[in-house]
Structure formats: structure tokens, C-alpha cells
Amino acid sequence: MTQTTHPILDALRKELGAKYVLTGKHAEPFARDWTGQVYTSPLAVLRPADTKDVSQIMQLAYLHEVPVVPVSGRTGLTKGTKADGQLLLSLDRLSAIREIRPAGRIAVVEAGVILSDLHKAADMHDLIFPLTFGARGSAMIGGALSTNAGGSNVVRYGSTRGLCLGLEVVLADGRILDLMSAVHKDNSGYDLRDLMIGAEGTLGIITAAVLRLMPKPLAYASAMLACSSVSAAVDVLNTLQAQTGGAVEAFEYMPASFIEGHLERFPDARAPFEARYDVNIFVEVGALSSRDADPTPEGQIPARAHLEDVLSQMLENGQVLDAVIAQNETQRAEMWARREAAAELSRLHDPIVDNDIAVPVDRMQDLLTRIETRIHALDPDIKMLNVAHLGDGNLHFTAWPKTTDKNTHAAINLAVEEEAIALGGSFSAEHGVGLSKLPAMARHKDKVALDVMRAIKRALDPKNILNPGKVIPAPDDLP
């Protein structure tokens, strides 16, 4: 990268101060993603201090017609913040937690707040902001909202969308859209909040939000289960939800190949069961009341005892083949660590084809069967590692084909996406579209929906300067 002298840069330096308009090697740290790779060569990196700064940047960008790509924690997986030759607008300095209101169960935060910092702030009031995933130590609220991030407790708390009450957004021409409502009922015109959430910065730049907080579980009942099939596991899920008042916080599926791969990679780890099972489930139930969480005189956690009762019955009637309940925090941590090794395990081999899809919970069994058939027809020797947030129907598909042939890789992805759609699901679950899923959007998304998205994009960003080229495929990209 070299020092650049685009006319907008002088204006930006005057506005923000030269120190916050980074080019050349100064820009480089902001152009590295979570893997450490420099992933893009922006014209400059901008570091506004507040919403007013963001507004002034957009006024200048609108005037000069220079594209702006908002970025926060740089932990995305779909190239949604690639900004070659464009302005990369980092929200990292908008990092204030403006307010935590325990009685109102509300946090007012800026876009650059790191997810785990909000976790800590909520914890001081015995509350949680439930959204959580592996990248929580660097991912920021702005990115989570812009991609409508998911995670492993969506079954209980919903995606980011469901945790947001209000937004502040800077539009393409610099105007500030004030949707900072903090109420649960607000029917005052079109739902612009949810339009901005998940739009990946293509309709506006989210600068602040009002978020919901929840009571903190006082204890957890966690277990590993083996079931005879994924369908049987879904029955177990529904029974557990009914038995616990919907308190299931995680319901994660791991196939036998996952357990084997895990033991291979971590020889000191323990297998969840003595026997080998095709369908292994990690389940966690949150106990919110002291009645469920406080140990009995015998030292028993009531929520755990209850889970044990329910599982015993299921073992008796054959709904569950095997079960192990975590007896303490160490055993619980071991279960979580096994599940969270998924990202690492999926990257152990090369070449890799991975995908992120979703189906209705009661269709997951069909999805796995159909994928297996189609993928093995393409490549009989292919190895796969399919891990699912079964509680919400989200499958993380990984395959390691022998071939590096791009066409075969594309055919694998196509097969996976087609089967998800055929079962009433989505070809794009929790990671967003960015650039990576543009071909899938062009191929699978309802054509009328794409047209409506384009009409909205034109209406809100007529000069096409907000993260252009992301999310919506160009009309001539249609297959």
C-alpha cells in the first residue's frame, strides 16, 4: 500500500484529524482479519470518534461518490468488509456502553463495543446479553447487528435481531436515522430497524443500539446424550422444552466422525460414552430460579436432578440410548470445549468445502440423509464433518474432497444448498451473504425478493456508495 492522494482524503483529514485517516502501513492493522491475513487494500482506513464523525464522513463520501465499507471486529466469514480502493470505516472508537438499566433490562451501546465487554458489563448487574459465539472477544456489536449474528443459544434467545430494540443509523448522504426506541411495542410505521439489521452496511451504518438484557441463569444442567437418530433427538428436544418450560439453552448435534476426529486431535480428551454412537447431542438447560439452582442439603442442584429424572425415563423407554450428566463445572467445561473444537476440527484437512445452511428442526434428519446421498454420488470417498445447532435447525457442513477442482467444490455447495431449500430451509443461515454467498443468492433467492431488495437499495443509496457489491447479486449475475 502506498500513501494515496485522492481529493477526499484531505477533506477527511480536516474533518477527523490526520491521525484518524490511515493509509499505507498505518492502515494495515485494520486490514487484517481474524486469521491475521491482510484481506483488503482500502484507499484509507477511517476511525471516527462518534456518530457525528460518521455522518460527516458520509456527507463527504456522498459528495465525492466514494464507496464506504463499515467494519467493526473483522471476524466475519463471508468477505462482507472487503474494501479494495474504497474507504474502510472502522467503528472501533465508538466503544462506549452508554447506559445499563437493570430494572428496564436495557443496554444502550455504541457499535464498536466488543461483545465480551458487554457480557462483563451486564454480568455486574446479574444480567446477560445472551448473544455469544467463538469470536466474542473481538467481534463488535455493530458487526453482530449488521450480520444478524446467531450462535449456539438461538434456540433460547433468538438471533441478534430478537435482542435489539432500537438503532441509530447513518444513511448514505450522512443523515442520522434515529430509531433509538427502548420499548417492546412500537408500531409507528415501517420496521426500519429490522431492515437495517442484517443488511451488512449496504443501507446504512449502524452507530448505536438499544439492546435487551436477560436474567442470568443461576445454574446449568448439562449433559451428553446418544440417540438412535436425529429425528429421535428432535423428539427429545421437544420433550425437554416442554419439561423445562423452554429452558433449553443449547442442543448441539455431533456425529460419530466428530467424536472420532476430536479424540484424534486431542488424545488426552475423553470420549463422551464408552460405546460409539451415530448421534451425539450436547444439551444444556439454564436454571433461572433459586428453586432450581440452589443446592439441596444433600448438595444436589434441583435442575440437574430434574434433567436426570427426565433422561432416566427416556433411557427406559428407549428415546435415549445413553446419557452422561455433568456433575460439576469442570465436566460442563469439558462438554463445551468438545463442541467448540468444531471450528478447529473442520480446518484440519485441505481442500475444504464448507457451508452454513438451515432447515426446520423436524427436517434435519432428511437433510443429513439427502446430503450424504448427493455428496457421495459426486465423490464416493469424500469425508464429511457435519455439526449442527440442532435446537434451531442450523447445519455447519464441512467436506474434505480429494480433488481441488473448483467445479466439484461448486457442485458440492450447490447440492447442499438445494437440499436445504427443498426441505423448506435456507441456503444462508447465520454467517450472512457478504461476497461469498452472492452466487447462492443469485441462484436460489426468490427473484421477486431480489428485485425488491434492489429497489430498496436504489431508494436508500442512489449513488451506490454503501458497501457496494455486497449482499445483492447484480441482475446479470443470475444463472
**Region 427-466 residues binding a second copy, contact defined as CB under 8 A:** 427-433, 437, 441, 444-446, 448-453, 455-456, 458-460
d(CA 166, CA 98) in angstroms, rounded, equals: 14
User: What are the grid coordinates assigned to 97, written together?
Assistant: 456502553
Distance CA(340)–CA(250), nearest Å, equals 12
Q: Site residues for a second copy, window 96-115 (CB under 8 A)?
A: 101-106
Contact track, a second copy, 41-80, x by CB under 8 A: ----------------------------------------
Q: How far apart are CA 131 and CA 141, in angstroms?
A: 10
- Does the footprint of a second copy cover residue 194 (CB under 8 A)? yes
Pick from 43, 114, 135, 179: which binds a second copy (CB under 8 A)?
A: 179
Residue of 3, 229, 289, 327 interacting with a second copy (CB under 8 A): 289
Per DSSP, the residues of 211-272 read EE-EEPPSEEEEEEEEESSHHHHHHHHHHHHHHHTS-EEEEEEEEHHHHHHHHHH-TTSPPS
Q: How far is the CB of 364 from a second copy (least distance, A)?
A: 10
Do residues 301 and 293 make contact, with C-beta atoms less than 8 angstroms apart? yes
Q: Which of 38, 96, 242, 337 binds a second copy (CB under 8 A)?
A: 242
Question: Distances in Å between the alpha carbon of 150 and those of 102, 144, 338, 422?
Answer: 24, 8, 19, 23
43 vs 471 by CB, closer to a second copy: 471
Using CB under 8 A, pick the residue from 4, 181, 331, 464 that binds a second copy. Answer: 181
Q: What whole-number distance in Å separates Cα of residue 398 and Cα of residue 258?
A: 11
- Interface pick for a second copy out of 187, 317, 330, 407 (rule CB under 8 A): 187
Q: Is 286 in the site for a second copy (CB under 8 A)?
A: yes
Nearest CB to a second copy, comparing residues 261 and 391: 391
CB of 437 to a second copy, least distance (A): 8
Which of 16, 94, 199, 388 is the binder for a second copy (CB under 8 A)?
199
Handedness of CA 299, 303, 307, 309 (dihedral sign): positive
**Smallest separation (angstroms) from a second copy to the CB of 44:** 27
Which of positions 215-234 make contact with a second copy (CB under 8 A)? 215, 231, 234
Interface with a second copy (CB under 8 A), residue total 99
Shortest Å distance, C-beta 410 to a second copy: 18
Binding flag, residue 236, a second copy (CB under 8 A): no
In whole angstroms, the minimum distance from the beta carbon of 276 to a second copy comes to 27
Q: At what angle do helices 230-244 and 364-378 cross, to 10 degrees?
A: 150
Q: How far apart are CA 272 and CA 282, in angstroms?
A: 10
Helix (H, G, I), strand (E, B) or coil at 4: coil
Q: Is 292 a residue that touches a second copy (CB under 8 A)?
A: yes
Contacting a second copy within 350-389 (CB under 8 A): 358-363, 389
- Rule CB under 8 A: is residue 176 a binding residue for a second copy? yes
Cross-strand pairs, 215 = 127
Which uninterrupted H or E stretch holds 369?
Answer: helix 364-378
CB of 93 to a second copy, least distance (A): 23
276, exposed or middle or buried, with CB in 10 Å at 0-12, 13-18, 19+? exposed
Q: Does 143 bind a second copy (CB under 8 A)?
A: no
Integer Cα distance of 178 and 332 in angstroms: 43
The 8-class DSSP code of residue 428 comes to -
3-state secondary structure 99-149: EEECCCCEEEEECCCEHHHHHHHHHCCCEECCCCCHHHHCCEHHHHHHCCC
The answer to whether 284 contacts a second copy (rule: CB under 8 A) is no
C-alpha cell at 380: 464416493
Minimum CB separation of residue 255 from a second copy in Å reads 20
The CB-of-310 to a second copy minimum distance in angstroms stands at: 9
Question: Which lies closer to a second copy via its Cβ, residue 16 or residue 154?
Answer: 154
* 254 strand-pairing partners: 280
| Subset of 304-343 contacting a second copy (CB under 8 A) | 306
